[in-house]
Chain A
Amino acid sequence: MKKILFVDDEKAFRDASRKLLEGAGYIVDTAMDGVDAESFLENNVYDFIITDIVMPRKEGIELILYIKQNNIQSKIIAISGGGRATAYEYLTMAKAFKADAILSKPYSFSELISTLKRLSSDSPNPES
């Protein structure tokens, strides 16, 4: 079973996403922001990290940089409700910092699942 770390500062969203992903057969940990996520990453290996961008303490772009700098092999999906000027502002930045996929909020669960499937088949993760 694939493991997912789901990072978003909105508790209600985290909880529901966890239930849906678990229902779809994933093992899910949730973190409330970048700081929280990093402590999970110290002791766990994930196939996917799904992260929001705008978060307190440590935000998504910083988390992505942390993941890349520490050579963590998980696939990254960045999600965001968009910025001031365009809906894709933060996500374009996430892509530039090498997130594997981006989804703009609100996305549907089926979009998320098909993204996860696509990433799994794209290039099989050597560690899994």
Chain B
Amino acid sequence: MHVSPSIDNVLIKALNSFDDYVFLLDEQGIIIFANIASEKKLGYTQEEFSGMNVLDVHPVDQRTQAGIIVQNMLAGTESVCPIPLITKSGEKVPVETKVSFLDLNEKKYILGISRDISRWINSNHQLFQSEEKFKKSFELSSRMMAISDLHTGEYIDVNEQFTMTTGFERHEVIGKSSTDLNLFKNPSRTYLIDELKKGKPVRGEEFEIYLSRKDQTILCLFDAIIFESDNHTYLITVAEDITEKKKNELALATSQKQLSQVLDGANDGFWDWNIQTGEVEFSSRWAEMIGYKLNELEHTVKFWEDIIHPDDKTFVFAEIAKHLEGKTKRYQSEHRVKAKDGTWVWILDRGKIVEFDQAKQPLRMVGTHSDITEKKLAEEKLLYRESFEKLINEVATTMINIPLPGIDDQVEVLLEKTGKFIGVDRAYVFLMDASETEISNSHEWCKEDITPQKENLQNIPVSMMPWWMNRISEDQSINIEDVDKMPTEASVEKEILQAQEIKSLIVVPLMNKQRVIGFVGFDAVTEYRKWDSDTELLLRSAVIPITNALQRKESESAIENYKNHLQSLIKERTSELEASYKALNDSLGKLAKQNDELVKFKTIADKANYPILLLSSDGLVIYSNKMISQMAACPEQQLSKCNFIEEFVDHEGPNYNKFSQFIKRRSDISSLEITIVNRHGKKTPALANASAIFDKGGFLMFFVVSFTDLTERKKGEQELKVLWQAADHSASGIMITDNDNKILYINQQYALTCGYTFKELLGKTPKMLRSFKHTEEFYHQLSQSIKSGVTWKGRIINKKKDGTDYTEDDVISPVRNADGKITNFIAITRDVTHELRREQEIQQSEKLRSLGTLAGGIAHDFNNILQIVQVYTELIEFQEKKNTQIHDSIKEIIRACTRGKSMVNNILTYSRQGPNEMAPYSFDFLVKEIINIARPIYPSSVEILKNIEPTGTVYCDPVQIQQIIFNLFNNSIDAMNGKGTITVNLRKLENPEKGSEQDVLMQIIDNGKGMKKEVLDRVFDPFFTTKNVGEGTGLGLSTVFGIVKKHNAKIKIESQPGKGTRIDILFSSNQNTTSKA
């Protein structure tokens, strides 16, 4: 036996001799010693007792009370503690306990002596042996006690509690039976006696007793025993009024039930955790949220712990620990839990300790689960989408500004960035050749350790992959999660992909003006991947810069070629002409000097590398060189004396008449385009030069005729035509001006962008397109820059023919001729209006979201401040009852407070991230209902017309729909100065816009003052308002915008100053599309 050595052995012996249960405690109530009687009765060993808190041997629900009574007894205000002890196995032992301080060896102890009183109740023998004690407890018991004759039922004695409870005087009871007193509503006494006759005492039976004196029915807990004495059989009944207790229990149960109902109603699951036992009560909604039925759950905290996502556990446990340690006022966590079907559900878990035990240890914690999966997924999706769009914009911008030689590298950068973003191992571009019969891998990016395939994938016949190419040519994406599961009709493609060890892939077509030019693909080699339709769409826009880049490359190199070609032509021609004139000059000079000019001339002409003829004054051939023979396919001898012009110049060809007349006119001809027809009928385009040669006396000697073969040049011109066509069809806009800035050319794309036709712009200057969004200075600098020969890159806002503005990214370069003089300017442009708009939309939603976060943070404090303003205003109103002037001012202040509150509510509604309250509602019915509610709020000078047709159900949050309608009505009424007509149209569209998911149209039309365009552009900005200071918050329409967005609906505003405003909101009747949002 381990006992503190400071305790005297004699004392221990003495205590052990007691039949009473004796405990020696330290000042904190920790048991140091318990006597043998306690060990036997309560079932603990001395070792187990030692160190236990004495309260632990009391029933759990009475420990607090026991603690208080012990304190009172030690303070001398109470003498005895009636709370029973409890054995190790959980049985109650009725005792009366007294405690006192005990000084031993200069240390203070507490001595507790518990006297077992079960004997008084259970044993006749004991009862009579200690009659004195029985009498005392009979008198003083807090329970009703009565002794009656078993046979007659007459009361022999009752205690004070009995008379107090029943309201009868003692003398009224003695000698009467319970039937006389009308105490029992049913034959309960008979039942008691029957039970007792079976030989055992009755314990804890519940009966109702009617108290005629109080006209009240109470519920009692009965114990009863029989005893015999003086040949009489007596019945002793002990009853306790448990009406209140029962009521409280019931109330507690009801309130718990109600609480969980309230929480269930709020769509939240409810949990109630007994921290010390580890038991947890879950509500049925809690179970349902994760796919279980309530009876399938194990009601332990372990079950709850086990289903938390492994990655979230650390965080969740840390948050709970923080709360249990009192570091946080509330426990809150967003984490994933595993549903019955193995999927993960995002949960917002909130809780709070609601009970502590005597030792201030947490005892009970309750809380809620909200399913935030949709919100989380939507957040993730939005984040994914936004970062993807950011990436696309970033790459596209780089692509525009990169110089031509860097384009291929940039395409590979784009592949890399996009590939890394969607998490694949390889990304590549395939382009079709001009004949559209073969495809080749043109650009490729591979992750480290992934084998490049580019070299293996050149000049693959399109016919090899019919399934694949069919889909691509129909502008469809190919999205394959598992290559092994591809359809049978795609077996060839499957083999090709398997050979490259591809597991999953996604491919989108490259389109240029509805024509497929190739495709971009993304392969997963190391593991299986899955892409949703969102990713597919984003990829489609991600590859547009590739198309643009390749187009730009094509058209820019076409223009480069054209420039080079022009230059080489000019060079060629210049040198030809130089050569021929030199030759002519030389020969003419010689002719003048010498007599036998002809002979000399022939000598020179023989060596010339272009065709030369001498014709007599009547046009017959005197001499022809070898080049003439070649051109005419006729030997020299046969040419002699023939009429060359008649025989070898095409009569149908250009300039025949003009050329044939030079003989008669004896004039010179220079660079006349004619066609030579040779012996075999083959035609050769040529430039003809002719001079008449006179002798010193002024007589005509002969004509010198030379030709320049134009075959090559004609071919060049043909090529040029092709190049122009390329420019014409380029995806980039192209404009060419001369150095006076007059427009010489625009391609189709440019015409499409600006809305003017080529004819309308030809000869005009680009000033026609000015939007007045730039300063004169801006245009001046642009013009200076290009005139100085520098390429200008930048963004210009221009005005279309229809008056709307558009934004283009421009590269404007000067074109120089052979002398280096600037002759033209070429502008290559890209319309970026749509891209900019999308960027702005993203910025808009960012702006609103940050506003919501801010508002959430200040809402509570702001409302509290408003409350103070309001209450003091009301106090002034109260104190200055008679001052009517003050009353008017006060009304204004209170009105302002109310507006402030509704503004906060508006912001919160906008930014509300809480659980979805969306459900399918009969939409026409809902809208009608809302208008009926709204009607009485608005002045009768406003007429509200309804044209509401059946729409079927729309998945929506009715409170928010109401908010949309109220906010729009408020705006309309303000715009009409409180007087006019609001029309509400609602109908289901039979032919919704193609590809659009929204098919239910709500229109709200007013005939108010309308809005100018500048105002329209900004109506959705938070805090933007046209109303005077203090009249509007500027949040009405942003809130509407927020709700519309949340419902995956679309909103459009049309307004004409002075006429009115029409707002169209398109909702979707398809639940799937709405709940995705």
Q: Which residues of A are interface residues toward B (Cβ below 8 A)? A: 10, 12-13, 16-17, 19-20, 23, 54, 59, 61-62, 65, 68, 71, 80-87, 92, 95-98, 104-109
User: By the criterion CB–CB under 8 Å, are A106 and B870 in contact?
Assistant: yes
> What B residues does A16 contact at CB under 8 A?
868, 871-872, 874-875
> What A residues does B422 contact at CB under 8 A?
none
User: By the criterion CB–CB under 8 Å, are B864 and A81 in contact?
Assistant: yes
Known: A20-B871, A86-B914, A96-B263. A106 touches B255 (CB 8 A): no
Known: A81-B861, A81-B864. A61 touches B870 (CB 8 A): no
User: By the criterion CB–CB under 8 Å, are B913 and A105 in contact?
Assistant: no
> What A residues does B248 contact at CB under 8 A?
71
Known contacts A92-B262, A106-B900; 11 additional CB pairs below 8 A are A16-B872, A20-B875, A20-B878, A82-B859, A82-B860, A85-B856, A87-B904, A95-B262, A105-B863, A106-B869, A109-B874
Interface size on B, residues (CB 8 A): 40
> What B residues does A82 contact at CB under 8 A?
859-860, 863, 904, 908
Top 4 A-B residue pairs of the complex, sorted by shortest distance between their CB atoms: A81-B863, A106-B867, A105-B867, A106-B866
> Closest Cβ of chain B: how far from A24's Cβ, in Å?
9
Chain A residue nearest to B869 (CB atoms) is: A106
Q: Is B92 an interface residue (CB 8 A)?
A: no
Known: A20-B878, A71-B248, A84-B859. A109 touches B871 (CB 8 A): yes
> What A residues does B900 contact at CB under 8 A?
106
> What B residues does A83 contact at CB under 8 A?
859-860
Q: How many contacts A-B (CB < 8 Å)?
A: 97
> Closest Cβ of chain A: how far from B785's Cβ, in Å?
54
User: By the criterion CB–CB under 8 Å, are B868 and A96 in contact?
Assistant: no
> Closest Cβ of chain A: how far from B512's Cβ, in Å?
48
Q: When chains A and B are docked, how far (Å) is the Cα of A83 from the Cα of B862?
A: 11
Q: When chains A and B are docked, how far (Å) is the Cα of A108 from the Cα of B914?
A: 28
Question: Per-residue 0/1 for B325-347: is the Cβ within 8 Å of any A Cβ (1 yes, 0 no)?
Answer: 00001000000000000000000
> What A residues does B259 contact at CB under 8 A?
96-98
Most chain A Cβ neighbours within 10 Å, of B352, B857, B874, B912: B874
> What B residues does A59 contact at CB under 8 A?
329
Known: A13-B871, A96-B259. A105 touches B866 (CB 8 A): yes
Q: Which residues of B are interface residues toward A (Cβ below 8 A)? A: 248, 255, 258-259, 262-263, 266, 329, 352, 354, 856-857, 859-864, 866-872, 874-875, 878, 894, 897-898, 900-901, 904-905, 908, 911-914
> What A residues does B860 contact at CB under 8 A?
54, 80-84
Contact partner of A10 among B856, B864, B894, CB < 8 A?
Answer: B864
User: By the criterion CB–CB under 8 Å, are A106 and B863 in contact?
Assistant: yes
> Closest Cβ of chain A: how far from B327's Cβ, in Å?
15
Chain B residue nearest to A71 (CB atoms) is: B248
8 A-B contacts (beta carbon < 8 Å): A13-B871, A16-B868, A16-B874, A84-B860, A87-B863, A98-B255, A98-B258, A109-B874
> What A residues does B901 contact at CB under 8 A?
104-106
Chain A residue nearest to B270 (CB atoms) is: A96
> What A residues does B898 contact at CB under 8 A?
106
User: By the criterion CB–CB under 8 Å, are A81 and B878 in contact?
Assistant: no
> What B residues does A23 contact at CB under 8 A?
878
Chain A residue nearest to B262 (CB atoms) is: A96
Known: A81-B861, A85-B908, A106-B866. A92 touches B872 (CB 8 A): no
Known: A85-B914, A95-B262, A106-B901. A17 touches B255 (CB 8 A): no
Known: A92-B266, A95-B262, A96-B262. A13 touches B913 (CB 8 A): no
> Closest Cβ of chain A: how far from B81's Cβ, in Å?
21
User: By the criterion CB–CB under 8 Å, are A108 and B329 in contact?
Assistant: no
Known: A98-B255, A105-B864. A19 touches B912 (CB 8 A): no
User: By the criterion CB–CB under 8 Å, are A108 and B255 in contact?
Assistant: no
> Closest Cβ of chain B: how far from A69's Cβ, in Å?
8
> What B residues does A98 contact at CB under 8 A?
255, 258-259
User: By the criterion CB–CB under 8 Å, are B352 and A106 in contact?
Assistant: no
> What B residues does A109 contact at CB under 8 A?
871, 874, 878
Q: When chains A and B are docked, how far (Å) is the Cα of A59 from the Cα of B354?
A: 12
User: By the criterion CB–CB under 8 Å, are A81 and B868 in contact?
Assistant: no
Q: When chains A and B are docked, how far (Å) is the Cα of A16 from the Cα of B258?
A: 35
> What B residues does A97 contact at CB under 8 A?
259
> Closest Cβ of chain A: how far from B702's Cβ, in Å?
106
Most chain B Cβ neighbours within 10 Å, of A12, A105, A109: A105
User: By the criterion CB–CB under 8 Å, are A12 and B868 in contact?
Assistant: yes
> Closest Cβ of chain A: how far from B263's Cβ, in Å?
6
> What A residues does B868 contact at CB under 8 A?
10, 12-13, 16
Contact partner of B908 among A17, A86, A92, CB < 8 A?
Answer: A86
Q: When chains A and B are docked, how far (Å) is the Cα of A65 from the Cα of B365?
A: 13
User: By the criterion CB–CB under 8 Å, are A86 and B255 in contact?
Assistant: no
> Closest Cβ of chain B: how far from A17's Cβ, in Å?
6
Q: When chains A and B are docked, how far (Å) is the Cα of A84 from the Cα of B913?
A: 10
Contact partner of A17 among B329, B857, B871, B904, CB < 8 A?
Answer: B871
Chain B residue nearest to A9 (CB atoms) is: B864
> What A residues does B905 contact at CB under 8 A?
87
User: By the criterion CB–CB under 8 Å, are A81 and B354 in contact?
Assistant: no
> What B residues does A19 contact at CB under 8 A?
875, 878
Chain B residue nearest to A84 (CB atoms) is: B856
> Closest Cβ of chain B: how far from A25's Cβ, in Å?
12
> What A residues does B912 contact at CB under 8 A?
85-86
